[in-house]
Chain A
Amino acid sequence: MTVHDMKHAGSDSARLEAVGGRLSRVDGPAKITGAAKYAFEQRLDGLTHAVLVGATIAAGKVTAIDARAAETAPGVLLVLTPDTIMELKGASDWLGNPPALSTYAPLARTVTFSGQHIAAVVAETFEQAVAAAALVKVTYEETPAIVDLSDRKAGDGIQIDMMTKEWGDAQAAFAAAPVRVCAAYNTPREFQVAMEPHGLIARWQGDELTIWEPSQWLDGMARTYAEWFGIPFEKVRLVSPYIGGGFGSKALALAHSAVAAAAAKMLNRPVKLVLNRPQNFTSYGGRAATRQTVTIGADKDGKIQSIVHRGVNETSVDGMWVEPLGSVTSIMYATPNFSSKQNVVRVNTVVPGAKRAPGENPSAFGIECAIDELAHELGMDPLQVRLINYAEQDPQVNKPWSTRQLREAFAAGAEAFGWARRSHAPRSMRDGHQLIGWGMAAGTYPVRRAHGEAVVKILADGSVEVESSSIDMGQGTYTILAQTAADTLGVPVEQVSVKLGDSNFARAGVAGGSRLAGVMTGAVYKAAGLALDELIGLALSDPRSPFQKVRDNTLVVKDGRIASPRGDGPELSIAELMQAVGRDRIEAKGDSLPTSTTPEERYKNYTTIAMSIPHTEGNYSRHSWCAHFVEVRVDEDFGTVRVSRVVSALDSGRLYNPKLAESQWKGGIIMGIGQALLEEGIVDRRHGRVVNGNLADYMLPTNADIPDIQTISVGIPDPHSSALGGKGVGELAIVGIAPAIANAVFHATGKRVRDLPITLEKLI
């Protein structure tokens, strides 16, 4: 799973293996050839198959489950219902808050959303389980559901006080401002739609539980399983060698995970449970639907005097999800008077969850469209309005930015795009039947920081192993950790193998919020440095070492060979030295935690997010930044929008591997194109059910929808953000794409669409 062929790398850098080199993904060939085995592709003896039965109502009670036909169907081993599933204990949440209830019921008696798991059938084969699951008859007592934010029964919701941000007198300043804009912006329920579905294989051996499951957070999920089954954390092993996309959805152990693990325990056989595609739309939450109003008051010269922002997002009946809608609003522009408040409204849906840049993404849609509306009201270039209101420091916490290359991003993006040639009047550019529009928007994402640990081993043959329970979901962890170890130790990257995705390895926190690369390169850098120190120490001090005679106090390691700094002594390969001193390995563990950290704190650090370091901690406010420039073509008859050009300039600090960073940025931009033009979970208001929960009807962009995308890195190393100077990459680039496209559509057509997605019927 972790031995990757390195004979692929591109040719545009002499030092591909160094941190900052454009090394191709070391896991790429395994994935392309099919050799990479994903979590639930494991073949186990005696494997059984579970299939879930979902609620067909959105609210009410299960009054009866008739499982007789299913129980006697061919191959059926077990039918689980709320009455027959083993009792599980409540588990603390991802912040480490203890559970509200002492028990946990992954199969529901009370239905709060359509598709909620009611029962499960376990059979010898998958086909038998599917057939038997269709025989389970559930009867309900249905009650009225609150289907979405626009449901009259939904009400105003709950105000979330910690989301309130206020300074100055925003209302008075707005009232006094000569130029005002005020508009409402809506984003629909969106889904992560990873190519690889959710699912797992669970196997018990005595009181030890092994779970093969795609995971953005092995230690967090292992902790949840341990708590559900009341076993020590160390008894749970989670294995997740590759992840076929997570986008925020695969960080938590979910109800279906509990069902599979419980079934495995009850049957004492391994159980495989994989959600089918429609179940991937109802078994865990996508991005919550949001509503925002943004009002901006400005001087006639475009200087913002006031921003008043109100936001609402949906959450579930019994879960709480806050999508922080004021997160970009509050920091993007120098605003003397500001007010942002947010409510959360309960509706009958599965609890929403994280999808790429939760909070910042919809927040930017509001403020970045509103700025464009302000520019139009002022008769000014939207880029000029952004520069006039450039925030020289964080206006919310009044701290300097650690680094903010946004001005550079505006300049580089505008130059590459040709923004200066824009004719600012809407509907002023066309090509035959195609109306052409140019739009722009800015984006940002905070630098989330945490602690991680890694083990680096130097083996007798001179090869190097890196071990961490962190994961690679396509963003390139395998690759950049190999580069970090190779660069730090002075060995060719071919000699490094990286092992990830096993909770038996050194611990790591969540791969989310764009924190993993900064955390883990730091940990590997530290562990590799310790290993190198030990190697050199051995070489200098061991009586069997040829370097003993050398009177240097250090040695250099380059290309896997050890020599004195002046090159006047012996030169040995690492393997030769290891042999000379009779060692079969050097092993070092590195982490960034203070040495005073207790074991309890360490456990908490890796299994919850309670110990994340705030991005405004200390003297600086730390964020990644970007500026997007987009061209759209809108058919004047059909209302169809196609993105024909994207230029994005991004500040993610130092890039550990530009090739992989560009790939992540482009992925975010593509996801943003989908969000702007296509994606929407469409709810049947009578049934409270999303009716397009499949890959044919939930629209995602195809290759034909995506133009060439130019990304430009404008970042500089940011020593306040991470050990090696990088800031976040993965979440950043989607932030601002939807408003850039909406602004371009306005420029093309003169029509302002404030409800995503921008589908053709909104333009004809």
Chain B
Amino acid sequence: MRDFSYLRADTIEAARNASALPGAMLLAGGTTLVDLAKCGVAEPSTVIDISHIDGLDAIDVTTERAMIGALAKMSHVADNAEVKSHFPAVSEALWQAASAQLRNMATIGGNLMQRTRCPYFRDPANFPACNKRSPGSGCSAIGGVTRGHAVLGTSEACIATYPGDLAIALVAFDAVVHLGERSLKVEDFFLAPGATAEREHDIRPGEVITAIEIPGSAAARRSTYIKVRDRQSYEFAAASAAVGLELEADGRTIRDIRVALGGVATKPWRARAVEDALKGKPLDEANIRKASELAVEGAVDHGANHYKIALAPRVVARAILKLGETA
């Protein structure tokens, strides 16, 4: 770990000004920054501690929307009664993320800035080539150990998986991230690598995440998050799905459906093809399983991650079936 200067920002304005400094990084819960500093990936020259800014940790939920302050802890949001009733997929995604200790530290804003778990990205000493860390240096993962790597949204520059859970639910329900003057759909806030793997988020120097807003909907109220992984806790998804469902008055025709995938793509992945195939169709297992296959349209594997192409549609289907059963 290198020396760095520490700045404590007590207001959003101070944080914005300081974050424009070259080499500056924001510190909130620290669960990503400290970790990445230890493995030599993050080498900030200035750390701006925003964890003391007042009023940024509010959780305000109405039927129209949830407004969650950037400094709200993952555990608080997960445990919030209104979040649980209006946005169960959001609460479930948070509960299944990380560990209890990390959820008590990590913030919602910081959660969106979480970096990939690609082992090559995280080990600069042994694997100098990484387009995310040093643009143009190449990708060490392609041709290497790829069991956890993405099958959707990849490029020749990068196949690193977006690791988070919360953002999958946010993308499914058209959440918006507030950055001060700008507000973006979370889906657009995350960037697929393309030729610029180093750009993971559409965020500019001087911008600080202040809140996340999730529009309320019938589909969000009837939603779930299924996360499949090798072990039962404290692991990133092999594949996950956030799904919301709204049925017509007949109780069997799908009026609205939202599907987003985690663990399989380079960014939180909305599966609109599945949604389009099921809207207006009856809630029927054969239909659902067939439509769920569309979740991995265009998927490309790199050997050991091939199983994700088979797994992801099953996770989607099971999530839809689970919501159907709770009618």
Q: Mark A685-708, 1 if CB is under 8 A from B, else 0.
A: 111010110001101011111000
Does B230 make an interface contact (CB < 8 A)?
Answer: yes
Residue of B nearest to A636 (CB): B314
Assess the A691–B234 pair: CB atoms within 8 A: no
* B233 CB contacts on chain A under 8 angstroms: 702-705
Q: Scan B226-254; emit 1 where CB is below 8 A from any A CB, else 0.
A: 00111111110010000000000000000
A678 to B230 CA separation, bound complex (whole angstroms): 7
Candidates B40, B145, B310, B318; contact of A691 at CB < 8 Å: B145
Report yes or no: B318 in contact with A433, Cβ–Cβ below 8 A. yes
The 8 Å CB contact of A640, one of B120, B147, B228, is B228
Contacts of B143 in A (CB 8 A): 686
Number of interface residues of B (CB under 8 A): 32
- Minimum CB distance partner of A130 in chain B: B1
Of the residues B2, B126, B230, contact of A759 by C-beta under 8 Å:
B230
A contact residues, total (Cβ < 8 Å) = 38
Write the B201-231 contact mask toward A (1 if CB under 8 angstroms, else 0): 0000000000000000000000000001111
Contact of A134 among B40, B117, B238 (CB under 8 A): B40
CB A76 to nearest CB in B, in angstroms, measures 14
Question: In the complex, what residues of B have CB within 8 A of residue A692's CB?
Answer: 119, 145
**CB atoms of B317 and A637 under 8 A apart:** yes
How near does chain B come to A706, taking the closest CB pair, in angstroms?
9
Chain B residues within an 8 Å CB radius of A684: 144-145
Taking the complex as formed, is B125 at the interface, i.e. its CB lies under 8 A from any CB of chain A?
yes
Chain A minimum-CB-distance residue to B318:
A637
Closest residue of B by beta carbon distance from A57: B126
Beta-carbon contacts under 8 Å, B144-162 to A: 144-145, 147
- CB proximity to B under 8 Å, residues A77-136: 114, 127, 130-131, 134
With contact pairs A640-B228, A702-B233 given, residues A682 and B145 touching in the complex (Cβ less than 8 Å): yes
- A686 vs B230: C-alpha distance when bound (angstroms): 25
Task: List, in ascending order, chain A residues with CB within 8 A of B123's CB.
Answer: 278, 691
Contact of B117 among A131, A696, A701 (CB under 8 A): A696
Is B3's CB within 8 Å of the partner chain A? yes
B315 touches A699 (CB 8 A): no
**Majority-rule SS of B interface residues:** loop
Q: Is A764 an interface residue (CB 8 A)?
A: yes
Main secondary structure of the interface of A (DSSP, over half): loop
Is B311 part of the contact surface with A, judged by Cβ < 8 Å? yes
What distance in Å separates the Cβ of A741 from its nearest Cβ neighbour in chain B?
A: 14
Residues of B within 8 A of A697 (CB): 117, 119
Check: B6 CB closer than 8 A to any chain A CB.
no
Pair A638/B231 contact, Cβ less than 8 Å = no
For window 277-312 of chain B, which residues contact chain A by CB distance below 8 Å? Answer: 306-307, 310-311
Given contacts A638-B311, A697-B117, 5 further A-B contacts (CB under 8 A): A56-B125, A686-B144, A699-B235, A704-B232, A705-B231
Evaluate contact between B230 and A131: CB separation under 8 angstroms: no
* Chain A, range 47-79, C-beta contacts under 8 Å to B: 54, 56
Q: Is the CB of B314 within 8 A of A637?
A: yes
Contact residues in B for A764 (Cβ distance below 8 Å): 307, 310-311, 314
Residue numbers in A under 8 Å from B126 (CB-CB): 56, 114, 687, 689
- Closest chain-A Cβ to B287's Cβ sits at a distance in Å of 16
Where the two chains meet, the residues of A that have a C-beta atom closer than 8 Å to any C-beta of B are 54, 56, 114, 127, 130-131, 134, 278, 433, 635, 637-640, 642, 677-678, 682-687, 689, 691-692, 696-697, 699, 701-705, 759-761, 764
Taking a contact as CB atoms under 8 Å apart, the answer to whether B228 and A760 are in contact is yes
Given A433-B318, A637-B318, A691-B120, also A699-B144 (CB < 8 A): no
Q: Across the two chains, which residue of chain B brings its CB closest to A689?
A: B126
Residue of A nearest to B3 (CB): A131
* Residues of chain B with a CB closer than 8 A to A705's CB: 231-233
Alpha-carbon distance between A54 and B123 when the two chains are bound, in angstroms: 13
| CB neighbours of A704 from chain B (8 A) | 231-233
Contact A131 B1 (CB under 8 A): yes
Contact assessment for B119 and A640 in the assembled complex, using a CB-CB cutoff below 8 Å: no
Smallest CB gap from B143: residue in A: A686
Is the beta-carbon distance between B1 and A702 smaller than 8 angstroms? no
Q: Closest B-chain residue to A127, C-beta based? A: B1
Chain A residue nearest in CB terms to B322: A433
CB neighbours (8 Å) of B317 from chain A are 637
Cα–Cα, bound, A704→B227 (Å):
14
Instruction: Determine whether the beta carbon of A702 is less than 8 Å from that of B232.
Output: yes
13 inter-chain pairs at a CB distance below 8 angstroms, sorted by A residue, are: A130-B1, A131-B1, A134-B125, A638-B311, A686-B143, A686-B144, A692-B119, A699-B230, A699-B231, A701-B231, A703-B233, A704-B233, A760-B230
B125: nearest residue on chain A (CB-CB)?
A56
What 10 A-B pairs are tightest by C-beta distance, nearest first? A761-B307, A704-B232, A704-B233, A637-B314, A702-B233, A691-B119, A638-B228, A705-B232, A684-B144, A56-B126
Residues of A within 8 A of B230 (CB): 640, 677-678, 699, 759-760
Q: Which residues of A contact B119 (CB under 8 A)?
A: 691-692, 697
CA gap between A702 and B99 in the complex, in Å = 10
Cα distance, A594 to B311, chains bound together (Å): 65
Check A702 against B147 for contact (C-beta < 8 Å): no
Residues of A within 8 A of B1 (CB): 127, 130-131
Contact of A131 with B2 at beta-carbon distance under 8 Å, contacts A637-B318, A638-B315, A760-B238 already known: yes
Q: Which residues of B contact A689 (CB under 8 A)?
A: 126
A residues in contact with B147, CB < 8 Å:
682, 761
CB-CB nearest in chain A for B98: A696
